[in-house]
Amino acid sequence: MTTRGATGGARPAPYPAEGLPERVTVYEVGPRDGLQNEPVVVPVEVKAEFVARLAAAGHTVIETTSFVHPRWVPQLADAAELLAAVERVPGVRYPVLVPNARGLERALELGVTEIAVFASATETFAAKNLNRTLDSQFEMFEPVVARALEHGLKVRAYVSMCFGDPWEGPTPIDQVVEVGRRLLDLGCFELSLGDTVGVGTPGHVAALIGAFGGPERLAVHFHDTYGQALANTLAALRAGVTVVDASTGGIGGCPYAESATGNLATEDLVWMLHGLGVETGLDLGALVETSTWLAGRLGRPSPSRVVQALSKALSKAPSEAPSEAPSEAPSEAPPKE
């Protein structure tokens, strides 16, 4: 059953379930993780409007860009220009991804107050993504985290390949826990457990969170390669996690893992959470409108099932449609994946 919201978009009738948090923070990664694989460079003004729309929809944390070398991720070469163009909204955090000490210096120069660093849970991906071993990757992170903390910055940590990678198969849980605890011990306030290639299952999620001793300081970052992202999210919520990473429209993936398809779509996540009676502070109609607008700029329809469904529903009720028509997204354009 669905109901009609003030924004014009349908929303699920809430049926609260036991054992879930009252509120979840959706950590929006669309401007960074979502756009980083786009083959055509998105103009700075479009990225800035994207961030502004996300804030207007109620997001309180928006990972805005990355200071990775432009040679590796050309789409994010405009990080400094974008940060200058983004109008900060009180109460909204705008973290950026920082790969190394040089990236941190650029972030400090631009007045960034929150950063994220990323590590690998497997040897092969550490070599491919960081050109380091599983152990030596910390030689890169330790001075970055220490200097960031000295300057009063909050530091989040990502761990990739927490459930498995294409080269080594399933990742041992104790190996993930060892990497994660080392990052937390450095002073990172939050640890995001990434299912980079989407091979995790709900039981695996529960076991991994349990191996950490509980959900404190943990977040989750799921990809929907095998259609498990929402099921895995629900398992994480039942284990007590209250921060979930998601990307507008489900765009994005890791450029160094070919089998890493789209992120969990923000709209699909919010639909589920609202249906479970879990508060997010997000306006689903505004999120759908933003995803439709972005799809028009990227030249292809949104991969999100909720966006597709609500866009069709709204197109049949013109008087209730968002100000940016869903038809902006070309109906015949093939999905990115």
Provide the annotated active-site residues: 254
* 112 close to 82: Cβ distance less than 8 angstroms: no
Taking alpha carbons only, the member of 263, 269, 266 closest to residue 251 is: 263
Question: How many angstroms separate the most distant Cα atoms in the chain?
Answer: 59
Sign, CA torsion 225/229/235/240: positive
Give the tokens for residue 44. 């700075």
Sign, CA torsion 56/57/59/64: negative
| Strand pairing category for 10-12 and 2-4 | antiparallel
| Burial state string for 236-264 with b = 16 or more CB within 10 A and e = fewer than 16 | bbbbebbbbbbbbbbbbbbeebeebbbbb
As a whole number of angstroms, the distance between CA 74 and CA 102 comes to 17
Match 């779509």 to its residue by tokens.
Answer: 265
CA atoms within 13 A on the CB side of 268: 26
As a whole number of angstroms, the distance between CA 226 and CA 51 comes to 29
Residue 10 host element (H or E): strand 10-12
Match 């761990």 to its residue by tokens.
Answer: 159
Other Cβ atoms within 10 Å of 317 Cβ, number: 11
Other Cβ atoms within 10 Å of 299 Cβ, number: 12
Match 């190394």 to its residue by tokens.
Answer: 100
